[in-house]
Amino acid sequence: MSKAKPEYTVQKHRTLWLSDLHLGSPGCKAKRLVRFLRQNDCEQLYLVGDIFDGWKLKSRFYWTPDHTRVIKAILAKARRGTKVYYLTGNHDDFMRQFVKSKLRLGRVRVMHELVHTAADGRKLLVQHGDQYDAVVRNLPGLAYAGDFAYEALLALSDRMARLQDRFGIARGFSVSAFLKTGVKGLVQYLSGFDDAVYYQCRRRGLNGVVCGHTHHAEARQIRNGVMSYNCGDWVESCSALAEDAHGHIRVIHALPDRPKIVPIKARKPVAVPAPQRLRPAAANEVQSAA
């Protein structure tokens, strides 16, 4: 008796980046994420921070069978040969204490950051991105308050969406997503995000960064060929970054009302001038991934 064929086509990628899953929070779109993980396969999978929402789990424990299925789907990929890297974020900063001891979750490697070598030879620094957030670094109390307000707006947006679906009203834009993107964008501008990324890439001879944290998926050039990529999130946008066999990186959406793949114009690799003097990196500062 032959096995039943799956009802979906599995997309093959060289690399996938996902961030801000927020497992353990009511806002996590875990069911949609499980489907996405089953429909997309890759050689390398980067979990770019805030995979667990430690802030929510501390105040009120929330976990569903779909959250468990997400973990199982990730571990299944690792068992089948996918290289899985877990980059710590600010919501799962409790994981950072295990980096020094080189903890592994099964075959999943846990670290603060690492350098990804794209198929076209570009070097991209992968880290969560809260390192560039002035509010998280200097005003943690305000960051907690902002997260609480965002959660309240998210719950309100979800209720409004359910009412719109019930009465057949077309959905409008998300207030919570609009405010979060606007506030994070303002913080990035005021804290000099682009300048910090550009300086770090020039100093270390890198071609760009891949981050999460802002919940806003994008691929843009900062200047002089230095790129800034963002994975988005799995609370509202349900997005990820994908690299093909030629090194082209694009944004993938898993929302039913959006195109499945939004291509980003491919850019030829731009050689970043090596700095005149490079500080020798500490042994545990950064790791390289093939």
- Packed helices 140-166 and 175-190: angle between N→C axes, nearest 10 degrees: 150
C-alpha 52/C-alpha 157 separation (Å) is 22
Positive or negative CA dihedral for 148, 152, 157, 162? positive
C-alpha 165/C-alpha 268 separation (Å) is 43
Q: What CATH number has the domain spanning 11-132+209-271+283-289?
A: 3.60.21.10
Q: What is the pLDDT of residues 116-167, one digit of tens each?
A: 999 999 999 999 988 876 555 544 554 445 555 556 555 556 665 555 556 5
pLDDT above 80: residue 73: yes
Q: What is the pLDDT of residues 177-230, one digit of tens each?
A: 555 455 455 545 445 678 888 989 999 999 999 999 888 899 999 999 999 999
Q: Quick one: pLDDT at residue 114?
A: 94
